[in-house]
Amino acid sequence: ASMGRTVVELFYDVISPYSWLAFEALCRYRHIWNIDLRFRPAFLGGIMQQTGNKPPAMLPKRGEYMLKDMKRMAKYYQVPLRMIPDAFQHIMGTSSLTAMRFITAIDMTNPQYLEPLSREFWMRFWSQHEDISQPENLLVVAQQAGLSAELSQKALEMISSPPVKDRLKDTTTEALKYGAFGMPAVVAHYDGEPHLFFGSDRLELLGSVIGE
């Protein structure tokens, strides 16, 4: 990291819509703030399980609110996130494990594609409401993100390899160590200690804490 920059880590999973909002907002802030933004793909399912957290929509009133909230947030952040009435069934019926392993494999081999690839996964799932769990769909997303067929194929083959599985597990464990219980989990390393911020709506507070 360059001198004097605050390292800000974003732990995210592409199944999480609020993670998309935080991702896009932080991508904008990194041009204005003196931060070194680091993307940390992790597995939301693992975090929920380890902390005993439940998806917001398990509480119907909260689910109702979340649909409206996402609509307002998408408009506010100008992110093409579109909620559909059965959005929660859509999430519940999808495991992001394969996608997050694929993203992790790219992070390990060609990190320059991490940002566009992650964005394309959100686009596909949260804007186009298409599948992100089947191998052929992972390849479509990778192609959209500008990866060659060769690179994508290599990443696909790495998905079931111990190094990739371990890397995703380790990143998820790291998020838990910082106190994460959901996503996005934003960790700012400032004044010699980590500061955890949960959600996409704590960025003013983050800025304030790190002197921005």
> What is the per-residue pLDDT across 31-49, written as a single tens digit (0 to 9) for each?
999 999 999 999 999 999 9
Indicate the pTM of the whole model: 0.95
Partnered with residue 200 across adjacent β-strands are none
Give domain status of residue 125, yes or no: yes
Give yes or no: 16 in active site: yes
Tokens of 162: 């111990």
Q: Is residue 157 a contact partner of residue 163, using CB atoms and an 8 Å limit?
A: no
**Domain-embedded: residue 130:** yes
Residues 2-22 have pLDDT tens digits of 568 999 999 999 999 999 999
Single out the catalytic residue among 2, 16, 127, 133.
Answer: 16
| 16 C-beta neighbours (distance < 10 Å), count | 22
Let me know if residue 1 belongs to a domain: no
- Evaluate if residue 204 carries a pLDDT over 90: yes
Q: Which of 100, 80, 106, 61 is nearest to 17 (CA)?
A: 80
CATH classification at residue 172 = 3.40.30.10
Domains in the chain: how many in total?
A: 1
Domain of residue 185: give its range: 6-210
Domain-embedded: residue 133? yes
Which whole number is the average pLDDT over 188-192? 96
pLDDT at 86: 80
